[in-house]
């Protein structure tokens, strides 16, 4: 009984860290990578980009965006099913 409660509490703690602090931290990493993606102009004045930093930033933003969309769909799943007949998560 107590072991099951401790396991459940740990699962809630991990979910809270991932979604409560993890997503803003991931967004912060994306912002930092985005700022490092733009390098100073080359000697001829052309703009230069750090492709690895840009790809990392886009990946961070995509993960955060996907989590937000999934969260909104999860919260509204019963309304979507009731009013529109759309069953999102089965």
- Per-residue pLDDT tens digits for 44-80: 888 888 999 999 999 999 999 999 999 999 999 999 9
Distance, CA of 53 to CA of 59 (rounded, Å): 10
Chain-centroid distance of CA 80 in Å reads 23
Please give the model's pTM, rounded to 2 decimal places.
0.76
Distance, CA of 26 to CA of 18 (rounded, Å): 10
Q: What integer pLDDT is reported at residue 41 of this predicted model?
A: 84
Burial class of residue 84 in the structure, from the number of CB atoms within 10 Å of its CB (0-12 exposed, 13-18 middle, 19+ buried): exposed
Percent of the chain with pLDDT over 70: 100
Domain locations in the chain as residue ranges: 1-89
Q: What integer pLDDT is reported at residue 16 of this predicted model?
A: 82
CB 78 within 8 A of CB 88: no
Q: What is the mean predicted confidence (pLDDT) over 14-35?
A: 89
């Amino acid at each position: 009984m107590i072991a099951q409660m401790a396991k459940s509490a740990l699962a809630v703690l991990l979910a809270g860290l991932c979604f409560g602090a993890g997503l803003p931290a991931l967004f912060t990493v994306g912002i930092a990578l985005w700022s490092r993606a733009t390098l100073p102009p080359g000697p001829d004045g052309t703009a230069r980009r750090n492709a690895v930093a840009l790809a990392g930033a886009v990946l961070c933003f995509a993960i955060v965006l996907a989590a937000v969309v999934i969260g909104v769909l999860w919260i509204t799943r019963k309304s979507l099913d009731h009013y529109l007949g759309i069953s999102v998560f089965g």
